[in-house]
C-alpha cells in the first residue's frame, strides 16, 4: 500500500512539472510586435514538441522563417550562422517577450508585446 502511495505521489509530481513546463512554453506562442519598432514582428507557433519562429521587419522588407527553435528552461534558442545564438523568453514581471542577440558588449535586446486580435 505504501509503495502504491509513493508511486502515485511521484506520478502526480511528474505530471505537475510537465504541465507547468508546457504552460510556460504556451506563453511564448502568438504574434508579437516590438515596442520600439512596430514594423518588427515575431510569430511563434508550437509544432508538436518543437517551436517555429517567423521574424518580419517590414520596414526593411525582410523576413526570416519559419525558423525551428529549441525550448529549454523557459528559453527559446534559435540557430544562427553568425556564431551568436538569439534567445527568446517571456518576462513574467513585465508581461513582455524579450529577444536577445549577441554576446557581451555587442549584444542587443528587443522587447515585444503580444498583438491584440
User: What is the pLDDT, as a whole number, of residue 103?
Assistant: 62
User: What is the pLDDT, as a whole number, of residue 111?
Assistant: 92
Residue 65: exposure state from Cβ atoms within 10 A (0-12, 13-18, ≥19) = middle
User: What is the pLDDT, as a whole number, of residue 81?
Assistant: 67
Question: What CATH number does residue 95 fall under?
Answer: 2.40.128
User: What is the pLDDT, as a whole number, of residue 63?
Assistant: 66
User: What is the pLDDT, as a whole number, of residue 79?
Assistant: 81
Which residues form the domain of 15? 2-114
pLDDT band at 57 (very low <50, low <70, confident <90, very high): confident
Please determine, for residue 22, whether its predicted confidence score (pLDDT) is greater than 90. no
- How many distinct structural domains can be found in the chain? 1
Amino acid at each position: 500500500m505504501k509503495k502504491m502511495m509513493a508511486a502515485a505521489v511521484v506520478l502526480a509530481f511528474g505530471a505537475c512539472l510537465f504541465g507547468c513546463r508546457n504552460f510556460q512554453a504556451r506563453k511564448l506562442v502568438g504574434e508579437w510586435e516590438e515596442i520600439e519598432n512596430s514594423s518588427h514582428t515575431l510569430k511563434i507557433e508550437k509544432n508538436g514538441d518543437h517551436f517555429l519562429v517567423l521574424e518580419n521587419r517590414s520596414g526593411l522588407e525582410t523576413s526570416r522563417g519559419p525558423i525551428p527553435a529549441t525550448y529549454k528552461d523557459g528559453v527559446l534558442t534559435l540557430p544562427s550562422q553568425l556564431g551568436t545564438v538569439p534567445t527568446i523568453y517571456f518576462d513574467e514581471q513585465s508581461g513582455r517577450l524579450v529577444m536577445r542577440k549577441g554576446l557581451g558588449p555587442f549584444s542587443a535586446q528587443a522587447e515585444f508585446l503580444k498583438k491584440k486580435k
